[in-house]
């Protein structure tokens, strides 16, 4: 998810590699790849100058400057959309290569391809794997990128997904679609099932999801709202978007609020935000540990972010914790809690294991307590960890509340699951394109334990 997104020829945009439905009759169901948060290329499109477009996510050259000028946004509570502060532009997702371009290599510049920076190679390996299995771009293979700043149930995303499913269905000669989603893309699909169940039933054959935070991603999301995300560490961070610059975007993103830990879920242990506070009592200074769970965390969000603001081209914009977005996200959470998978559509889930995954997040210490909660936003966090993929706890990714055909735990990180060979073997088996009748791995016992179990 967030912190995990961070050969000089680009395969996939040449017409030689694509067969139209007029040339080839589809011999299998089409596959639609649905990405998660930060997993789509975003362009800033000028409302003038003939609609000139500039890539603003992801780019490794001039990243910070372009991000601030073009991508910083503010939520419009009247429309439910997050809108760019630069009102001369709009944010769009490129639709090249049947939607695959936007989710393939997130910075497709020549330099990145030459050095093969795997950090921005997103669905690239999975696309290659599916092409080698006989899938054909534009006939049986499609991608769905979207503006991941927005809510997972916003009208544009729902309508765009309707159109993409219909296009894949038509291009393949009327065959139903197999969806493969990653991370937050699974939440978008759940919203689609709830709001467009008839369309889902009409066009979808089966659904495979990978590393979806069905009940939220407590440590990563709580901290993202308070201190931001550092995508790149060390020397390379000087060439990418800074933690604080990213933070100013995330505070106004409905999608982030929709991945807060679900307060209605029966966690094995409730996730918490902890703050060591310096206080004055009866004329004495004391240090106390304050605890906030999913139902009370709004208290610290409001206080810590009350003075949060950004400066863009000399203009100051206040960005406190957004209660309007929180209300919207609460309605989204109700949809996610109540959704039912239509009968007859098989569901499969892959989740990551064996990686320390942030759960509780703590600020300050007994020796260096925090006096003013607004200082939390400028504090280095400390985490407690649970098992997962480094971003999504396994407990959350397993809790889809569906009757799954199979749930499989794979030892890989959140983004690495998209290029893991064990994941590929399972996907090929479920799609019916693998010669192997049995996947041999250390995860097979996990599969047996959770297959068909309703969580």
Mention every residue, 6+ apart, whose C-beta is less than 8 A from residue 330.
none
What is the rounded CA–CA span in Å between residue 383 and residue 363? 9
Where does 202-346 show beta strands of DSSP type E? 204-210, 272-281, 284-293, 309-312, 315-318
Among residues 4, 147, 389, 420, which one is catalytic? 389
Q: Which residues are 55's β-sheet partners?
A: 43
Query: What is the rounded CA–CA span in Å between residue 79 and residue 379?
Result: 34
Peptide bond connecting 346 to the previous residue in cis, omega within 30 degrees of 0: no
What DSSP state is assigned to residue 112? H
Q: What is the rounded distance in angstroms from the CA atom of residue 342 to the CA atom of residue 338? A: 13
What is the spatial distance between Cα 346 and Cα 180, in angstroms, rounded to a whole number? 12
> Which residues make beta-bridge pairs with 207?
179, 347
Separation of alpha carbons 249 and 233, rounded Å: 19
DSSP 175: P
> What 3-state class would DSSP assign to 344?
coil
Beta strand pairing call for 355-363 and 272-281: parallel
Query: Active site includes 414?
Result: yes
Quick check: is 389 catalytic? Answer: yes
Which are the contacts of 135, defined by CB distance < 8 A and separation ≥ 6? 28, 30, 31, 141
Instruction: Tell me which DSSP letter residue 69 carries.
Output: I
Q: Angle of helix 297-304 relative to helix 323-338, nearest 10 degrees?
A: 150
Measure Cα distances from 392 to 51, 177, 200, 333, 434 in Å.
38, 27, 26, 17, 28
> CA-to-CA distance for 234 and 222, rounded, in angstroms?
23
Using alpha carbons only, how large is the chain's radius of gyration in Å? 22
Among the listed residues 151, 183, 297, 396, the single catalytic one is: 183
Catalytic residue among 122, 124, 247, 414: 414
Q: Residue 286: CA atoms inside 13 Å, Cβ hemisphere, count?
A: 8
Which active-site residues does the annotation give?
A: 183, 389, 414
């Amino acid at each position: 998810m967030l912190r995990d997104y961070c050969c000089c020829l680009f395969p996939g945009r040449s017409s030689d590699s694509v067969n139209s439905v007029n040339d080839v009759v589809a011999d299998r169901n089409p596959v639609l790849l649905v990405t998660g948060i930060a997993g789509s290329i975003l362009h800033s499109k000028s409302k003038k100058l003939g609609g000139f477009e500039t890539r603003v996510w992801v780019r490794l050259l001039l990243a910070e400057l372009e991000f601030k000028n073009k991508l910083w946004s503010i939520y419009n509570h009247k429309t439910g959309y997050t809108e760019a502060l630069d009102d001369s532009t709009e944010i769009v997702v490129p639709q090249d290569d049947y939607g695959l371009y936007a989710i393939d290599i997130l910075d497709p510049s020549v330099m990145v391809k030459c050095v093969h920076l795997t950090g921005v190679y997103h669905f690239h390996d999975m696309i290659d794997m599916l092409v080698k299995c006989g899938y054909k771009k534009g006939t049986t293979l499609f991608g769905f990128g979207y503006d991941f700043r927005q809510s997972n149930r916003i009208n544009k995303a729902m309508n765009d997904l309707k159109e993409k499913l219909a296009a894949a269905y038509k291009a393949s000669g009327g065959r139903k679609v197999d969806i493969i989603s990653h991370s937050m893309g699974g939440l978008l699909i759940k919203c689609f099932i709830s709001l467009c169940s008839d369309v889902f039933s009409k066009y979808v054959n089966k659904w495979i999801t990978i590393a979806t935070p069905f009940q939220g991603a407590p440590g990563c999301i709580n901290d993202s709202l308070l201190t931001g995300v550092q995508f790149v560490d060390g020397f390379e961070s000087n060439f990418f978007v800074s933690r604080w610059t990213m933070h100013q975007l995330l505070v106004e993103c409905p999608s982030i609020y929709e991945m807060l830990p679900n307060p209605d879920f029966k966690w094995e242990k409730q996730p918490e935000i902890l703050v060591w506070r310096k206080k004055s009592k009866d004329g004495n200074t004391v240090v106390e540990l304050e605890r906030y769970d999913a139902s009370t965390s709004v208290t610290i969000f409001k206080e810590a972010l009350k003075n949060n603001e950004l400066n863009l081209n000399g203009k100051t914009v206040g960005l406190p914790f957004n209660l309007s977005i929180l209300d919207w996200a609460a309605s989204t959470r109700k949809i996610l809690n109540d959704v039912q998978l239509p009968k007859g559509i098989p569901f499969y889930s892959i989740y990551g294991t064996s990686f320390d995954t942030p759960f509780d997040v703590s600020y300050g210490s007994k020796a260096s307590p925090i006096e003013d909660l607004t200082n939390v936003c400028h504090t280095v966090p400390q985490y407690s960890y649970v098992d997962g993929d480094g971003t999504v706890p396994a407990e959350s990714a397993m809790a889809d509340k569906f009757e799954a055909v199979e749930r499989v735990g794979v030892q890989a990180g959140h983004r690495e699951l998209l290029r893991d060979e064990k994941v590929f073997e399972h996907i090929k088996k479920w799609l019916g394109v693998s010669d192997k009748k049995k996947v041999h791995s250390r995860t097979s016992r996990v599969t047996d334990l959770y297959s068909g179990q309703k969580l």
